[in-house]
Structure 1
Amino acid sequence: MNLLQANYSDEFLVYLEKEFDNVFIAPIVLEELEKNKYVNIIEDESREILDEILDSRVSRYVDKLDVKDANGFTLRKNLGKYKPNGESHSVSHSLNFSRFGGDDISDFLLNTHILTDDHPAKEDFNYFSSLNLLGKFLDSIDIVTFFWLKGYISRNQVLKYCDSIKQLYFKDVSLLIQELKILNSSFSGRFNSSERLFLVNLIDKLNSINEGISDFLIEIRKHNNFKKIKSRKIDTLMENIIGFSVGPKINYINSRMKDLEKVWLLEE
């Protein structure tokens, strides 16, 4: 999803198709994309673009082969790690393709790569995938760096992509601030002075905070004034932010941006 939402274009999908013999997604991954596709979107125009990309291009990648045996094997042999989600199913589909995707079993051993930005899932399945000689676990920054090395995009575009996905990870915070501002401007008459001050201070704090936001929101939700201003949408957004540990993700992206200078690009 990050590859799509970073610039709301199918540009990176075009490059994927050019460079890889096969691009597949598990059916459950498309279901998850459809379910969560508007989570980080504010503008209606972006929704239309994303719908078009999912319908016209991404839906063609769905691997419709029966992977029941591969799913069962992954569940039994990676005990405690398998979950009924996109990452687990992607590993099973990759395992199945590595064995049956070519004319010979050697065709795709070590060449069936898995793309995910879910780093905990990578930790859960990395050893299992290595044992089964699937290929590499790649994240979207790896893929975009690959496109740079292949000459499709510039180094600055890699950095721009990294900045874009950082903004996506902070999008729930932006949505929360937007919702609180609407509450402050449209419904302030129903709050007393203490509650209005609490609301204004909360907006200011969210606009400036960079670290420890989950702990901050946990404490905010205990405040008596929060009980007076909260709504179902505000509560849901806060739960999403608290449950989504953004700090390590931002640190990882920052380190990849900094270390881009260590990538050897052969100049023409």
Structure 2
Amino acid sequence: MGNVCCLLDACTVINLIHIDDDDFLLKKIKRLDLHINETVFDEIRSNVYDRLSNNDSKYNNEEKVILFKKEIDRKVSFFRGKKSDNAELLKDLGSSYFNDIKEITGYTKKTNGELCSTAYALYLSRFNEKKIFFYTDDFPAKEFFSDFFEFQQIGQIKDTVDFLIFLYWIDEDFNTVQLDRILSDLYSQYAVEVTILKGRLNAFYREKVNGVFVKSQKDIASMIRDLVSQLENLDFRKLMCYWIYFESNKSRCKEVFDIIKQFHSVFEIETDTTSDTLLKKIQRTRSLIKKKKIYKWGDLILN
């Protein structure tokens, strides 16, 4: 796959770190032409440890947490070796390069990993003459930058499920049983986070939202109820709107945002009315595996 370059976003790397218990995936990834933008790597370091403090029973023992942290440190070190240097990139392309891409694409959010990865992908596609596959589970970013990837002939934006299928497809020692197990682990990561977030918001509402709270912060109480309702129904449409709302109102209710910010990956899997959520895509992919609808080249030839 010498003509393909893989670029990973923070959410994808964090998921890979947490579902790869025995370095099975890392050993496969070593074969790839893989890159991580420096801004993305900074986001990985800032967020990869959050799951150790989200009340998952898996991390309820201090000794276990220490061991998990050491494992995470080791895996982060591996991905550090794939990190690009923004200073070198800007030295070649000019200090305004990221801002130029921001202006060209009409991106209005602050400069972040998704924007910098898009800019870096354009650079890689032009100077390395390769097709770039940018893997992210951030649905809003995927929706926003997909046209830019298409019209500039950069490549495609995919998600973690697609990345796992790609690893399976290029490695003869990666079988469907292993792929199904890893997809199950990925599903569990998100499902557990949704459940824990919902539980913590319910606990906050039960313990802190009284008559006085509602009288002074009625809108916040209402937004908490609405968010919990969507999580109950696994309805991820426009979920990032809640993140934006609570972030912009954190001075009024810091405790709620302190809860929410530990579960950023949950908000990244928002979808629109026409698309599968990542959870549904995982379920659909596992169903296709069982129906033997996901093939390798050798399988197609033999059949």
**Higher Cα Rg, which structure:** 1
The TM-score by the shorter chain falls in which range? 0.5 to 0.7
Post-superposition offset of 1:159: 1.3
* Cα deviation 1:154-209 (Å, max 9, x = unaligned): 111111111111111123345458879x99xxxxxxxxxxxxxxxxxxxxxx9xx6
What is the rounded CA distance, in whole Å, between the counterparts of 1:254 and 1:12 in structure 2? 20
TM score, norm. by length of structure 1? 0.68
1:263 counterpart SS class: coil
Match of 2:241 in 1: none
Are the counterparts in 1 of residues 197 and 263 from structure 2 also a CA contact under 8 Å? no
Match of 1:7 in 2: 20
Post-superposition offset of 1:135: 1.5
Are the counterparts in 1 of residues 35 and 84 from structure 2 also a CA contact under 8 Å? yes
Q: Does 1:252 align with 2:281?
A: yes
Post-superposition offset of 1:50: 0.7
Matched residue count: 223
Aligned counterparts, 1:213-252, within 5 A = 232=255, 236-237=259-260, 240=263, 243=267, 248-252=277-281
Match of 1:195 in 2: none
Letter in 1 for 2:175: S
Match of 2:149 in 1: 129
Match of 1:77 in 2: 104
Match of 1:86 in 2: 113
- From 53, 59, 68, the equivalent of 1:46 is 68
Flag the 1:211–1:178 CA change in 2: closer, same or farther, 3 A: closer
TM score, norm. by length of structure 2? 0.61
Aligned counterparts, 1:192-231, within 5 A = 211=234
Q: For the aligned residues, what is the CA RMSD?
A: 3.7
Are the counterparts in 2 of residues 8 and 46 from structure 1 also a CA contact under 8 Å? no
- From 107, 112, 125, the equivalent of 2:132 is 112
Post-superposition offset of 1:142: 1.6
Post-superposition offset of 1:239: 8.7
Flag the 1:141–1:85 CA change in 2: closer, same or farther, 3 A: same
Are the counterparts in 1 of residues 140 and 270 from structure 2 also a CA contact under 8 Å? no
What is the rounded CA distance, in whole Å, between the counterparts of 1:70 and 1:155 in structure 2? 42
Letter in 1 for 2:188: Q
Post-superposition offset of 1:87: 1.3
Are the counterparts in 2 of residues 23 and 61 from structure 1 also a CA contact under 8 Å? yes
Uncovered stretches (5+) of structure 1, i.e. residues with no partner: 184-205, 215-230
Post-superposition offset of 1:256: 2.1
Q: Does 1:25 align with 2:36?
A: yes
What is the rounded CA distance, in whole Å, between the counterparts of 1:174 and 1:125 in structure 2? 30
Uncovered stretches (5+) of structure 2, i.e. residues with no partner: 1-13, 60-64, 205-228, 238-253, 272-276
Are the counterparts in 2 of residues 70 and 96 from structure 1 also a CA contact under 8 Å? no
Match of 1:262 in 2: 293
Post-superposition offset of 1:123: 1.2
What is the rounded CA distance, in whole Å, between the counterparts of 1:13 and 1:262 in structure 2? 26
What is the rounded CA distance, in whole Å, between the counterparts of 1:213 and 1:142 in structure 2? 20
**Identity percentage over the alignment?**
19
Letter in 1 for 2:28: Y
Are the counterparts in 2 of residues 176 and 234 from structure 1 also a CA contact under 8 Å? no
Flag the 1:49–1:174 CA change in 2: closer, same or farther, 3 A: farther
Post-superposition offset of 1:61: 1.0
